[in-house]
Amino acid sequence: MRDTKESRLLLLLLVAIAFALITMDLRSGEESPLDGPREVAATVFGPVETGLARAVDPVGNAIGAVRDSGRRHDRISELERENAELRQELGSSEHRDSRIRQLDEMLGTAGAGQYRIVGAQVIAMGPAQGFSWTITIDAGRDDGIRRDMTVLNGDGLVGRVTTVGPGTATVLLASDPNFTVGTRMEGSDELGFANGRGDDSIDVQLLNHRAKVKAGDRLVTFGSADGKPFVPGVPVGEVTSVEAASGDLTRTVRIRPYVAFTQLDLVGVVVEPPRDNPRDSVLPERPEDAREEKPAEGADDNDEADDNDEGEDGTGTDGTDGTEGTDGGTADGDPGTGTESGGNDTGQGTGPGTGTDPDAIVGAD
């Protein structure tokens, strides 16, 4: 449309009409004369607006999604980061509790055997120096570690040190086929040699082929001269099966080691052997031994109760009412009976009186 005088007049006229209609609509309130035309317009143009809205909504949603995607991505990233932090915190707490438990058990084992140890952490596991079952620990020559020292944890024998560096050391595990240690059986003191099998069991060759051994018997290290490579008394394992006796000079038994070699974390290297052989004192308490102690305590309580009852019946000797009756014998040595008037129980003397002082006998009067 060209900018002419007529077009300007038409624009002014349309603006004036619009103001007039707005003024009329506002002043009329709810009974506006424009309600009729408004309803007609809504009827005519309503479907058109709905159709246009449906056609435009996907575009609008896409634009909104693009606009909000940045904020949503940031929120998702924040939630993922918080989740990772919570998982790490939970994992750290469980790992810390596990290490505290391992350390307590290891110190308990070292204390029971009077072993002086240097604690270390396992930092690697795998082939080293040609061995297939080894671990690397983060303690070495600078920490007082030397070759052929015994390595243990809270469960028992782990292995021996084979290679030492300034800050690390290699340990040959007791499960390695090349590993050998002298053993002694709890109770019977039968001697033998334990050899790893490369799995979760160990074979022991008992020197006495007629040795009496059964499943459940336990073994500890026999010990070496000056405590190298093995100190005495370290728990090794428990017998699981026994081969039938044959004409061989030795007898083979299979044991389950106390140590889980695939779950090692904290270990201790024995840098000073004990002054005295701890023998079987480092072995863990048997479950049946713990169960046997409970009835013994109850039996003591029952014995005490029986003693009290006997004292009340007049046969005790612990100064109760019946005891006064026990003293009822005369100085001449004749049996007698004494009755306490202040109580309901009557005690009967069970033996001749032997006193020589009548005033010392409670029932003499």
Per-residue model confidence (pLDDT) at position 270: 96
pLDDT at 297: 46
| Residue of 24 and 291 predicted with greater confidence | 24
Q: Where are the domains of the chain?
A: 1-28, 34-110, 114-284, 301-360
Helix, strand, coil shares, percent, the chain, to 5: 40, 20, 35
Confidence of residue 47 (pLDDT cuts 50, 70, 90): low
* 195 or 26, higher pLDDT: 195
Computed over every residue of the chain, the mean pLDDT equals 74
Tell the CATH topology of 114-284. Thrombin, subunit H (2.40.10)
pLDDT, tens only, 173-185: 999 999 999 999 9
Residue 118 pLDDT exceeds 90: yes
Q: Which residue did the predictor score with more confidence, 36 or 253? A: 253
**Alpha-carbon distance 215 to 323, whole Å?**
54
Q: Is the pLDDT of residue 229 over 90?
A: yes
Percent of the chain with pLDDT over 70: 60
3-state SS, one letter per residue, for 37-89: HHHHHHHHHHHHHHHHHHHHHHHHHHHHHHHHHHHHHHHHHHHHHHHHHHHHH
pTM: 0.56
Judged against a pLDDT cut of 60, whether residue 206 lies above it is answered with yes
Torsion sign (Cα): 51, 52, 58, 61? negative
Q: What is the mean pLDDT of residues 264-270?
A: 94
Please say whether the beta carbons of 211 and 188 come within 8 A.
Answer: yes
Of residues 337 and 128, the one with the higher pLDDT is 128
* CA torsion through residues 284, 289, 295, 299, sign: negative
Q: Which residues contact 150 (CB under 8 A, 6 or more apart)?
A: 115, 157, 160, 221, 227, 228, 229, 230, 231, 234, 269, 270
The token pair that represents 284 in the structure block? 């863990």
- The share of the chain scoring above pLDDT 90, in percent, equals 39
Please, which pLDDT band fits residue 48 given cuts at 50, 70 and 90? low
Residue type, 252: T
Residue predicted with more confidence, 146 or 335: 146
Q: Which pLDDT belongs to residue 200?
A: 87
pLDDT classification of 310: cutoffs 50, 70, 90: very low
Among residues 294, 350, 285, 352, the alpha carbon closest in space to that of 323 is found at 350
Query: Residue 91: CB partners within 8 Å, gap ≥ 6?
Result: none
H helices present in the chain, as ranges: 5-28, 35-113, 287-313, 321-326
User: Which of 7-11, 30-34, 283-287, 305-309 shows the lowest mean pLDDT across its residues?
Assistant: 305-309
pLDDT for 332 equals 41
Has residue 56 got a pLDDT over 60? no
Inter-residue contact 205 to 226 (CB < 8 Å): no
Spatial contact of 197 and 177, defined as CB atoms under 8 Å apart: yes
Q: Which two tokens stand for residue 154?
A: 């809270």
pLDDT digits (tens, 9 = 90+) for 94-103: 778 888 899 9
Does position 130 have pLDDT exceeding 80, yes or no?
no
The confidence score (pLDDT) of residue 362 equals 37
Name the pLDDT band for 224 (thresholds 50, 70, 90).
Answer: very high
pLDDT of residue 325: 38
Residue 75: per-residue pLDDT: 67
pLDDT surpassing 90 at residue 357: no
Report whether 190 contacts 211 (CB < 8 A).
yes
- Between residues 16 and 127, the one the model is more confident about: 16
